[in-house]
Amino acid sequence: MSSSVFATIVARDLRLAARRRVEALLPIAFFLVAVSLFPLGVGPEPQTLRQIAPGVVWVCALLAAMLSLTQLYAGDHADGSLEQMLLSGESRWMIAAAKALAHWIVTGAPLVLAAPLFGILFDLSAAANLTLALSLLLGTPILSLLGGLGAALTLGLRSGAVLLILIILPLCIPALIFGAGAVSAAEAGISTRGHFSLLGALLIGSGLLAPWATGAALRIATE
């Protein structure tokens, strides 16, 4: 029963995202434009581009994920469907996890798919380009999970968008450091096992704890 409800919530959010195409495409468009501007501003020096590529791509991915988080629960809260889900008796952990997964599919997955193109743009080696995509594959779900927590904590507040950024950005710094560090290590020919191990640990920890904390925050916000 719980698995069917989980799939229903994910499918519902994906349908809503398909109807609101402009809102769904805005973070992806921001990511594409923001990353593309850096080579124009910094210059065509390959060595410089390779050095800044990991940080630029990861910071832009983080900011792109932030753009759509304010609406993660706001629409459901406004029309009352969030309260119905919470009162249905289903696990709040499962509801939060389903919402985070839908957010990642709409926002995080396209960023992962676009990463190899920017690796070529920044003249990354094949190994570093693959590492960039893999680091985003592990890191973007962390952004969605932690972002869901921030969206729940700021639900219904007037300055929710600003508070969301202030809450989530510090929590995402470890993922940013290890994700960008893995790409830099791959470019330098150093082993990336440690970076990926830490990213995996962050993903597991976020997957277990963030939905639980998000569910508790949603209960408080809707009371």
- Kindly report, residue by residue over 42-56, the tens digit of the pLDDT: 877 888 888 999 999
Assess whether pLDDT exceeds 90 at residue 137: yes
- Confidence band, pLDDT 50/70/90 cuts, at residue 184: very high
State residue 130's pLDDT score: 93
Percentage of the residues of the chain whose pLDDT score is greater than 70: 98
Give the CA angle between residues 174, 178, 184 to the nearest 5°: 145
Listed by start position, the domains of the chain span 2-222
Higher pLDDT, 79 or 11: 11
Assess whether pLDDT exceeds 60 at residue 1: no
pTM of the model: 0.90
User: 53-73: string of b/e by CB count within 10 Å (b at 16+)?
Assistant: bbbbbbebbbebbbbbbbbbb
